[in-house]
Structures are given as structure tokens and as C-alpha cells.
Structure 1
Amino acid sequence: MRPLSGPGELDLFTRLSYVLDHELADDFAAGRRRPEWTWVALRGDRLVARLSWWSPPGTDAPFVLDLLDVDDTLPEAVDVGVHLLRTATAAVVPDGATPPEYYRFVPGDWHEDRAAGDVVRTRVAVVERLGARLIAERLRFEWRPDAPLPAASGRLAFREPKDTEELLSLMTSVMEGTLDAHGQADVARLGPRKAAELHFEEEIAHYPSPREWWRVATLPDGTPVGFVFPARNQYNAMIGYIGVVPAHRGRGHIDDLLAEGTRVLAEQGVPRIRAATDLDNVPMAAAFTRAGYVNFERVVNLTWEPAGAV
């Protein structure tokens, strides 16, 4: 078991396969992955397991474990994966630090397709053996330009946020009663304001796209009812975050917010717009469907408790 010596060993690393393989070379070039965060387990010349952490460029620590594979022909595949993950984590994650979250993109029918389900369950078993727990299964959506733009009702006005404090205030309000499992966990641990600050600082503030795309929705009298953050990450245009404040929920405003966010991105000529929501967030999933977004994939998220150790 060892880290890669460099991107030149990608041919070795990709002897096992996953949907992110086509991004690896660019990720290394951009600093989103590093050889010391990318490990292999070898039995002779045979690759029997591999993993890689990812992080935004310019950061010093891995942010997420998004690639973990084992040779599924091995009867001891889970044990091999556990051994590699434990060894690599000890070398990469500082003592006492919470290991980065694990997520894996999975087919939408993985619960029904036995072969696809076995692949997912094997990887999940590896991280569960080391103390992680499933926090959410999420639906991934996509809008393409050949679909009509979602219609807006005209009930709301849209403007750019006044400042970061206005955004954090609105995000704090949206955190109350959120159906997002990550948000619920952060609120329970930190409270709504700190949870909003954490989400902003760890994710939203790192979007490379212009903040001028972001929108606050208001009633005709200027009262804010919600917000939408159209954005780009390193790979796609996306609806980065969207929410309606509690006092104005249940009135269909989410449809207007999503229509505005989609319009902003469509005007940039993007080839697709990605979005995601928890499987349990039925209202948000329904809003994406009404807006012409198609559910093309799922993702399973597992996390360790804060300050947990592998």
C-alpha cells in the first residue's frame, strides 16, 4: 500500500474504474488532487484497491473522499478496502481530526439492480467498518438547453444580495426547518447561524463564478422571501444553494427562485445545469421536476462524527 509517485502512474490507478476517472488528469493539473492523497493497494503487480481524496485548489487538506474502489472479484474485498483506507487515512488525516466525508455517485436503480447494488454496498461497508454512517442519499438533477426555460409567475422581484451579512441572515433563517440532512446535522451541532456560516465558508465562498449571479427574491414591498445561488464549480454550472425563508414557505416561491437561477445560468450558454437534493426532500425534488430538470443519478454520503478517528 502506497501513495502514487505522481500523475504518471494514472495508468496503474485506472486499472480499476469509476465514473470520475476522466477527470483525474485535470484534477492533478489543477491541484484538486495530489499524489500523496491518492493511494493504491497492490498484490504483486495487481491493483486490488485504490482511493483518492479531493479538495478545492489552494487548500492544504483533503476535503472529501470521493473515490474508493476495490477488486470486486476478491472474496476479501471489504477487508482489503478497510486495510487501505485505514493505512492511507493514518498517513493523510492529522491525528484527532475528523476524516473527510465519503460520497459515491450511484445509478438511480442501484436498490433494484443487484449487481450495481453489490458494488455500492461493498464500498459502503468499507467506510462503515471504520466508523462512518450514512447521512443522506441524494438525487442528482440536470437541466439542458433543449428543455424550455421554467416559467416565472412574476410575483417576485430579484436583485443581487446587498452584502455577505444579508446572505448569512437569510441562510440562517432557511436552516431552520431544513429538510437537508447535512443542514439538520450542522444545526443540531452548531445552531442555525454557525451552520450557515460553515456552509458559506466551506463551499459557497469557493465557487469560482461571479457573485453577481446570485439573487435574493423579494415581494413587491421589498421583503426578502428567499435566495438562489446560480454558480459554477470546477466542472459544471449548477444551482449551488436555494431556499425560501420559513415565513414564506408553501406558496410556490421555490418555483420562481429556481426559474430565476436557471435563467441566469442559461444566459451564460452553459451546456448543462446540475443540481441535487436529498431523497427525503420531496418538495425540492418535485420543484426540480416541474422546472424541467431530469434525475439522472444518485449519490450516497457517509460521514464520521466530528473528531472521530478511523
Structure 2
Amino acid sequence: MIHNDLTMRPITGREELDLFTRLSYKFDHELADDLDAGRRRPEWMWMALRGDRLLARLAWWSRGAGEPPFMLDIFDLDDTLPESERLDLGVRLVETATAAVIPPDTPRTEYSRFVPPAWRDDEMARRVVESRMTSLERTGARLLVERLRIEWRPGTPIPEPSGRLRFRPVRGRDELVELMTLVLEGTLDAHSHADLAQMTPAQAAAAQYDDEMARYKSPREWWQTATTPDGDPVGFVIPARNNYNAIIAYIGVLPAYRGNGYIDDVLAEGTRILAAHDVPRIRASTDLGNVPMARAFERAGYVNFEREINMIWS
């Protein structure tokens, strides 16, 4: 599509990755593999060009071959352009690409961007983050949540078991969905709150299991239920591997047992399981506003290496 001297179009294939990456972001090294695996498709990777100069770009990511776009996770602008031109260009590219990629009766996918942990304190980082957010806000997006991205690194001590809890493998989907339903009470997670605005806790837990937990190909015996010595469930932890890293996919303590420090025991067990497989890192995320969970990760030796901005259209 040509607007005056500006061309907006998707890449033709892998042969244009060099052009697409003239504006850079941390996912660039994964693009070729994601294209090969079907997690990205050329028609989802759009550029705004003036001649052969790349002025803006965006791309969607999916969770697997043959699936629809799941996340708008690349959106970059040429920061040498004047602010008004840069913001307008971003809006035009988002709207043009979205109209071509997302069916008209389908909700827009969430937007995600990884940013430095102290991005507000760095003038250049703040300018980059805020320009993307402002462009998206002008298309109707709003901030859902800012999240901490954290990781455990080999060599970090893992606390020895305290002996207060027992651990056993999760007994299938029904048990985990039941536990996930219970921990939604009093949740501080913004995505969970958004789900609960549209469905019951049981429905939200079942949907999250089917959409996320069931996709992990790592061993299910890693998934652990924490119990009292008498066998009553206290919480659970889901250590797993996604397509890129070992992760703590989900962790929770039931409301009746909160406030006793059990989260430290549960997190240590999940960390111990993954660390036993000589992983180069273990990653996790939690909302910036979920202070109790963030502090638990900090006590366990996890470090905040970046943040994530999530925006939605609603």
C-alpha cells in the first residue's frame, strides 16, 4: 500500500529479514527460527518504507504453526524522525497492517514490549517506550499492566527444603484446574482480573489450563502440588520449558494458607526441579503491582533483568 511516497507492506519472505531488522529489537535473533517454526509468517511482518529506508515496522507472533496471531510483540519506529511524524506513522502502520492481518470481527491481539528495568530513569529508553505507547493509544489501545521479568541464574543458592510441606506430582488436569480456581481468590494479577471480568473463576482457570498449561511439552511430573504433612493441598508450582527458556509458568498458594511464607517453599521446589536439569537460566514474570510475589522471587535469588509493557484494545 502506497501513501504518497510511503509504502506499507509485509515482507516477502526470509530474504527481506535484513531489511526488516534495520530497526532493531531484542527478538531479531529469533526471527528466522520463528519463521521456520511457523510462529511468525511473512504476511504478519509489516514495514513502512520510504524508498529503501525503513521508517517503522511491526510483527505478530503466534504460539505455533497454523495458529492465528497471538501477540503483537514487535513495533518499532525510526526515532530520528520528528515526533509528530513518528507518532502519525506508527498509527498509520498499525491500522493498515491490522486491517490486513486481523479479521474485522476478531478482537485485536495484546501488545507486548520488553523494556529496561529502569526505563523511566533513562531519557532515551523512556522516549522509545512512550512513543510506541502513544502511537498505540491513538489507535485505541490502553495499558493493561507493567510486569517484572525475572530470572534465576546458575550458582544462585537454592534454599534447602524446610520440611513444612510435602511435594507430589499434580494429579492431572482436574486437580490443577481446581487449585488454579482457588488461587484466583484475591489475585493481584491483572490478566486474571481481566479474565474474571468475563467469566467465572472455574471458567478462567480451565481456559488458562487449556490455552497455556496444556501446551508445554516438558515433563508433567515436574508439576508439583504442595501439601501439609497430612496431605491437604497448600499450593502448586508449574516448572516448564517454553520454546525459549526454562520457566516458572505458574505458582500459587491457596487463600487459606497465605501469610505463612509457604510461597518461599513452593518457589524453591520449582526452582530446584529446573536447576537439576542444568538449565542456563530460569525465567518468570509477575505484575509490578504484585509486591508479595515479587518479593518472594527476590528472596529466592531471582533478579529483575527487564520489564514488560502489556497493552490491550477494548
TM band (smaller chain): over 0.9
Preserved CA contact (<8 Å) 1:108 1:298: yes
> Which residue number corresponds to residue 80 of structure 2?
73
- Residue 151 of structure 1 and its aligned partner are, at CA, apart by 3.1
Tell me the SS of whatever aligns to 1:197.
Answer: helix
1:91 aligned partner, one-letter code = A
Scaled by the length of structure 1, the TM-score of the pair is 0.96
> Which residue number corresponds to residue 240 of structure 2?
231
User: CA separation in 1, counterparts of 2:47 and 2:72?
Assistant: 14
* Correspondence 1:147 to 2:156: yes
* Correspondence 1:62 to 2:66: no
2:308 aligned partner, one-letter code = V
Residues 58-94 of structure 1 show CA distances to partners (whole Å, capped at 9, x for unaligned) of 3420000111001111121111111111011111111
* Correspondence 1:250 to 2:259: yes
- Residue 31 of structure 1 and its aligned partner are, at CA, apart by 1.1
Tell me the SS of whatever aligns to 1:118.
Answer: helix
* Correspondence 1:167 to 2:176: yes
Question: 1:46 pairs with 44, 53, 61, which one?
Answer: 53
> Which residue number corresponds to residue 166 of structure 2?
157
Preserved CA contact (<8 Å) 2:119 2:125: yes
User: CA separation in 1, counterparts of 2:53 and 2:169?
Assistant: 54
2:102 aligned partner, one-letter code = V
Preserved CA contact (<8 Å) 2:37 2:65: no
> Which residue number corresponds to residue 3 of structure 2?
none
User: CA separation in 1, counterparts of 2:304 and 2:219?
Assistant: 27
Tell me the SS of whatever aligns to 1:111.
Answer: helix
Number of aligned residue pairs: give it. 305
* Structure 1 residues without counterparts, runs of 5 or longer: 306-310
Scaled by the length of structure 2, the TM-score of the pair is 0.95
User: CA separation in 1, counterparts of 2:93 and 2:250?
Assistant: 35
Preserved CA contact (<8 Å) 1:138 1:298: yes
2:41 aligned partner, one-letter code = R
Residues 237-278 of structure 1 show CA distances to partners (whole Å, capped at 9, x for unaligned) of 010000011111111110011000001100111010001100
RMSD value, Cα: 1.0
* Correspondence 1:192 to 2:196: no
* Structure 2 residues without counterparts, runs of 5 or longer: 1-7
Residues 203-230 of structure 1 show CA distances to partners (whole Å, capped at 9, x for unaligned) of 2211221211100111111111111000
* Matching of residues 50-129 of structure 1 within 5 Å: 50-75=57-82, 76-129=85-138
User: CA separation in 2, counterparts of 1:115 and 1:43?
Assistant: 24
Question: 2:188 pairs with 179, 182, 186, which one?
Answer: 179
* Correspondence 1:6 to 2:13: yes
